[in-house]
Chain A
Amino acid sequence: MRGGIVRELAVRRYLNQFRRIFQDPVLAIGLILVTLFLVLAVVWPVLAMVGESMSEAGRPLFARYLTEPTYQTIIRNTVVMGLLVAAVGTALGFLFAYVQVKVQAPFKRLMHFVALVPIISPPFAVATATLTLFGRNGLITKGIFGVRYDIYGLQGLTLVLSLSYFTVAYMNLKGMMQALDPALEEAATNLGANKWRIFRTVTVPMLIPGILGSFLLLFVESIADLGNPLVLGGNFEVLATRIYISVIGLYDTTGAAVLSVILLVPSLIIFVIQRYWIGRMSVVSVTGKPSGTPQMITHPWVRWPLFAVTMGVTLLIILIYATLFVGAFVEVPGVNNSFTLSHFDFVINGYGSEAMTDTTLLSAISTPIAGLLGILIAFLVVRKEFPGRAGLDFAGMLGIAVPGTIIGIGYLLVFNNPLDLTLPFGGENPLTITLIPKLTGGRAVLGGALAIVMVFVIRSIPAALRSGVASLSQIDPAIEEASISLGADNARTFRKITLPLIRPAFLSGLIYAFARSMTSLSAIIFLTTPQTKIMTQQILNETENGRYGNAFAYCVILILIVLVAISVLYLTVGSATGAERTLEGGG
């Protein structure tokens, strides 16, 4: 009886929520469009990929792949690499964040900057430069120490992936450390604890959700990485590279789909744990106004060792990027070091110019779409109530939760043939309407560019979505309600009130979107066509063929384009009103 009433009330609540949404047509249309886009661009391809793996041909492969020693080794490699990178990367991120927030040390701005560089560089720029420095003919290993060091394999991958991905952990933990209320440490000091005890009993326990979250995120990111294992893996094969080879080398989409599911399941599980469970564990409130002044660590025995390690890593990163930069200007990096501009000529005027313009154009198209969609989803998820809200949030995050290669295969499965609707009437010559044209492969619409833009967008939405959610939850909902109460509808409120107030989040969402699009490889590697070339893939080609100079020139240009884009975004979207400062000041 009671259950019946509860159910009836729940039904009525859903009806009310729908009524609320559809009271405002703009809101309803926005919700429907966003949902349709996510379903089309990410949910459907992923489901299609899962469906393919469950097909007649796919099902037996699961047993084979999970029992055959070759594949067991690949799976073990993937897990071991993921765990190592997650551990090393999180440790590095923690170290950098701790030094940045808590330790009095010189060169902190430099360290901060260096820690952020990986965001704007192509995923395996570090790998290629590392090969030049520490490879079999490495400038340092062979040149200085005279050893023929074999960097290919697990150790090289761990180094390179940790350096490439620790930024995530750094940003995450730095934010949390800054939000830690200094009053807590003051209280602990007041109760007689020394600095080491405070670190052990207050700081670290408060940061555990951040540490765990970073660990899991790094794990997911590193097992999804394709470029680095291709360049640096050698005989060390992981799932992402095997999937790539299955598609490109063996034309075995079904096998690739089965392997993808094997990669997808742990990725998704860990992502869900990270997102929903650890998020709830967090005890650090970011909204609380920290009181008091954080105590800096000044003890020389703590300060200088921490500084030395951090500075060492900083210098290593600088060395790697310097190699990349210098390497772009020499004939054959590490072998023939005479100055040349031929690599840049190749990229800017030659064969590479097409990739450069295509990638920049497609990224520039995707960026505002991803930024707006991400912020719109954030607005809907944070501010509106409707059935399926959690589902929309989750679908919005799929772009980052699902490894790129998997999205690529999904696109091949779904969009390689046009989706036609043959109308049931018309007799002999039934009317056929093409609902979705062929988006991938040869003779695809716009040379496959549409599919690439879609992938760029869904890969970039999560960053805009998360920064939008974080920013919106800091803004008093009453401000938007005031606008509604004064007669503005949702669209006007969003345009006039919400968007201006979350402009910094929107800006950082756009920057991430552009950088992510420019540097993404795994998701679009199956989607490029002779008509549409993408820089990251060209870099991979050049690297695999040993033409490091060209690869470096591509990297330098790519980084420059991203930097210019960031400046342009700052100038056009950046704030002039000062409203955000008001919000940050807690006004």
Chain B
Amino acid sequence: MTVQRTRQGDLELIDVVKSFPQREGSGVVAAVDHVSLAIPSGEFVTLLGPSGCGKTTTLRLIAGFEMPTAGRILLDGKDITHQAPNKRDMAMVFQSYALFPHMTVADNIAYGLQTAGMPRAEIKAKVAAALDLMSLGGLGERRPNELSGGQQQRVALARSLVMEPSVLLFDEPLSNLDAKLRVQMRSEIRGLQRRLGITSVYVTHDQIEAMSMSDRIVVMNAGRIDQIGKPHEIYHRPRTRFVADFIGRANFVETTVEAAAGDRATVTVLGKTVQVPVEQPLSAGTRVTAVLRPEALRLVEDTARCPMTIEQGMYLGAETEYILAGDGQRLVVIESGLSAQRLFAEGQTVCVDFEDEAVHLLPVG
């Protein structure tokens, strides 16, 4: 299954809209609202968002199971917007695996090749190779219902990979697996994808899955793209409050820019005045929201600056989580490492401390 490709699988969505008629009334709902996205060959891109954000619809538009109301979809520069789904050089891995229950594992994997009219001997060789690749050796004659969830998942993957598509599509493929298997399959899928260099679009609502697998993450909210970026950018430089809140956990503190110079702004957050890098220049007096990740905060006993009360402490072993209240504000603080073992009592008055870099500013709204 080593394929020499000459840069195939450049996928592009241009201003794609998909609207459905409203359940009640005569209006329409835009499930996908002017989405533009370019995915270069070989990239692993994840569409991430809560349920109903349009990520699955976007994937189904790419697959051709839905037709956009407006906009265009290009594959390697060719317009495939209205191409039939079975004619597209793509293969999809489904959430429910969608294995054919009346066929053996081998027949499932061979199905697409048979449809393409490949000679029997070649199919046999390819199926055997795919079974090997997915560590399914010896299971070829079983039926899907005789396999474990993890094995079914591998069959589904093998069935798609064997087609050697330009683009692989994943619709929450791991959500039916138990937690441990999910972690394992995560790195397996990512490893395979890297090795084969197939452009992949992966839909999930699980941020850890998105962070751990993707070259880039597309965060979607209400049919629109909120932010596109590398996992690190998405986490540390979220562009909207929604992204900050959806990826990981976040504390939001309202404040005002005190002074601004070039790409830095001075703000006071939780009693501490810090200099923060900003993407766009902000003028003094602008209201902003400071984003602080819980693990970037630490508790100190010096209560002079911004005293808060510990409402709840949860010892989780590797870390300890505190919920603080005070000054009309609630904060989540996660202590890890050695400091996780130094327990504060509920009801105790404490203060939080953090590095300047822990603060990220968002425009209010």
Contacts and interface: CB of A to CB of B under 8 A. Distances in A.
A19 interface: yes
A481 B169 CA distance: 12
Size class of B's contact patch? 35 or more
Given A23-B84, A478-B96, A482-B98, A6 B28 contact: yes
A485 interface: yes
A484 B163 CA distance: 13
B91 A583 contact: no
B102 A485 contact: no
Interface in A130-183: none
Interface in A1-52: 2-3, 5-6, 9-10, 12-13, 16, 19-20, 23-24
A578 B69 CA distance: 41
Interface stretch (B108-116, B260-268, B345-353): B108-116
B67 A485 contact: no
A579 interface: yes
A476 B163 contact: no
A424 interface: no
B21 A585 contact: no
A436 interface: no
Interface in B46-101: 63, 65, 67, 69-70, 82, 84-87, 90-92, 94-96, 98-101
Given A6-B28, A486-B91, A587 B98 contact: no
Contact of B21 (A10, A20, A500): A10
A310 B21 CA distance: 50
B19 interface: yes
Contact of A6 (B27, B99, B163): B27
Interface in B12-49: 19, 21, 26-28
Most A CB contacts (10 A, CB to CB) among B87, B92, B99, B102 go to B102
Contacts of A583: 101
A302 interface: no
Contacts of A497: 100
Interface residues of A, number: 37
**A contact face: mostly helix, strand, loop, or mixed:** helix
A487 B115 contact: yes
A73 interface: no
A479 B144 CA distance: 12
Given A6-B28, A487-B115, A479 B85 contact: no
B102 A486 contact: no
A76 B94 CA distance: 58
Contacts of A70: none
Contacts of B91: 485-486
B21 A13 contact: yes
B182 interface: no
A9 B17 CA distance: 11
B63 A485 contact: yes
A501 interface: yes
B86 A579 contact: no
A385 to B, nearest CB: 10
B127 to A, nearest CB: 13
A585 B94 contact: no
Interface in B124-173: 143-145, 156, 159-160, 163, 169
Contact of A482 (B27, B70, B94, B143): B94
Interface in B249-296: none
A186 interface: no
B159 A9 contact: no
B111 A582 contact: no
Contact of B95 (A12, A478, A486, A578): A478
A418 to B, nearest CB: 41
A492 interface: yes
Contact of A9 (B19, B67, B84): B19
Contacts of B84: 23-24, 489
B28 A582 contact: no
Interface string B306-332: 000000000000000000000000000
Given A10-B21, A492-B115, A482 B92 contact: yes
Interface string B223-243: 000000000000000000000
A582 B115 CA distance: 24
A500 B102 CA distance: 7
Interface in A465-498: 476, 478-479, 481-489, 492, 496-497
A161 to B, nearest CB: 41
Contact of A488 (B19, B67, B69, B86): B86
A481 B98 contact: yes
A233 B99 CA distance: 57
A319 to B, nearest CB: 44
Contacts of A6: 26-28
A293 interface: no
Given A481-B94, A485-B91, A587 B145 contact: yes
A165 B90 CA distance: 52
A476 B156 CA distance: 15
A12 B63 contact: no
A67 interface: no
A476 B69 contact: no
A336 interface: no
Nearest to B94: A478
Contacts of A19: 67, 82
A483 B100 contact: yes
A338 interface: no
Contact of A486 (B28, B65, B111, B145): B111
Given A19-B82, A479-B100, A485-B90, 11 more contacts: A6-B27, A16-B67, A478-B95, A484-B65, A485-B92, A487-B86, A489-B86, A492-B115, A501-B101, A579-B101, A587-B144
9 contacts: A3-B26, A19-B67, A479-B101, A481-B92, A482-B98, A482-B156, A485-B91, A485-B160, A489-B86
Per CB-CB distance, the 7 closest pairs between chain A and chain B, nearest first, are: A579-B102, A486-B112, A478-B98, A482-B98, A587-B145, A23-B84, A485-B92
